[in-house]
Amino acid sequence: MMHDVLVAGAGPAGAVAATLLARRGLRVVLADGVDPARHKIGEHLAAAAVNLLHRLRIDFRPDRHVRVGGVLSSWGSDQLIAIDSINDPQGPGLLLDRTAFDAALRANAIAAGAEFRSANVVRVSRGAGWNALLRDGSAVSARWLVDATGRRALLAKHLGIARRRDARVAAVYRVGANDGPRLDRTMIEATPHGWWYAAHLPDGRSIAGFHLAIDDAPGFAKQPDAWSHALNETIHIRTRFPPARFATRLAPIEAGGACLARFSGEGWLACGDAALSFDPVSGQGMLAAIHHGALASDCIAEALDGETAALDEYSGRLDHLRKVYSRRHREVYLRERRWRSMPFWSSCIRPLEQIA
């Protein structure tokens, strides 16, 4: 059977794209070998993303998540500054139960009529349409292919599309217990060798992550005491999130921005982190993924209707988003003036177009 669209990857971008395409009456397969036991980083949903999901009529079970009162930030000085969500015209954001959130987005796609396959796409080839082999040995044929496989951009890589990294940033996270009072805000604190993020998750646990140069991350993660020592050197976060609470170590993850050399081609496109990745300091990764999923659905529907300019318009929109992000990324890192000569900070303030 020839399907209309195969969406590889059921994260926010892929699930939203599959939902909206299926609502149009298209035959959609959503394929992802979901591992519910794996902790997925990315628990902050900005208010703009909350409102976008509401406008798209996607039920993400808001009752399963916790409102964020704002951000406590020490960036540019030792002073801790409170940024209250009450002053945000978009309203409060949410701290997510990420497993429940992703499951709810997949459920929307299935309810809309998409067929869910619990297996990753491992190989694609081009014939009359796209022929894809899934890890469970099954096959899918489709007229259109969507790469929503996250930062790995697996299908774009298979198609020979280059991926360009920005400043080489990684994050080393840990999850732990919380035996103190719950904080309804996220915390950010800059240090000489990188910056920290911490929050209390909806399930009562704590999460904290150190963002540092990607070349330093593997050795840093292997040293049992390095992470705790670095957290203990913070001024503010250590008082709310003592190092002793964190027992579960997570593998280092890539956390810098990146983009594909091409976002689309004949019969395919990439969306979400597969197309454009964002440094977490932007706070826009989840919003961008949801927005990309919606743009991807519009593009494919228009292309199937014979709109020959649809792919160019889609790629043009992502190019614009990339330029806006590049400018804001540098502006944010330039606000931290204390350690500009340190390797991490000097790499982050270079204009992204100068980074190979």
The structure tokens 């998540």 sit at 65
Task: Please give the helix or strand (H or E) that residue 174 lies within, else none.
Answer: strand 169-176
Domains defined along the chain, listed by start: 2-66+96-165+259-322 (3.50.50.60)
The structure tokens 């604190």 sit at 189
CB contact set of 87 (below 8 Å; sequence gap of 6+): none
The neighbouring-strand residues paired with 170 are: 212, 254
pLDDT tens digits for range 178-235: 877 888 899 999 999 999 999 999 988 999 999 999 888 888 877 878 999 999 999 9
Nearest in space to 147 (alpha carbons), one of 287, 296, 3, 21: 296
Is residue 172 very low, low, confident or very high in pLDDT (cuts 50, 70, 90)? very high
C-alpha span between 56 and 78 (Å, rounded):
41
Using DSSP, state whether 167 is helix, strand or coil: coil
The structure tokens 């228009």 sit at 302
Calculate the alpha carbon distances from 215 to 162, 280, 286 in Å. Answer: 21, 18, 26
Look at residue 281 and tell me whether its pLDDT is greater than 80.
yes
Nearest in space to 43 (alpha carbons), one of 200, 189, 194: 200
The structure tokens 């406008």 sit at 55
pLDDT tens digits for range 282-337: 878 899 999 999 999 999 999 999 998 999 999 999 999 999 988 888 899 999 99
pTM, rounded to two decimals: 0.93
Look at residue 113 and tell me whether its pLDDT is greater than 80.
yes
The structure tokens 């099954």 sit at 138
CB 256 within 8 A of CB 333: no
Residue 22's Cβ-side half-sphere holds a number of Cα atoms within 13 Å equal to: 23
pLDDT tens digits for range 15-45: 999 999 999 999 999 999 977 667 677 788 9
Tokens at residue 193, please? 């060798």
- Crossing angle for the helix pair 98-112 and 12-23, nearest 10 degrees? 20
Q: What is the pLDDT of residue 352?
A: 55
Nearest in space to 148 (alpha carbons), one of 315, 6, 331, 335: 6
Nearest in space to 8 (alpha carbons), one of 136, 164, 134: 134
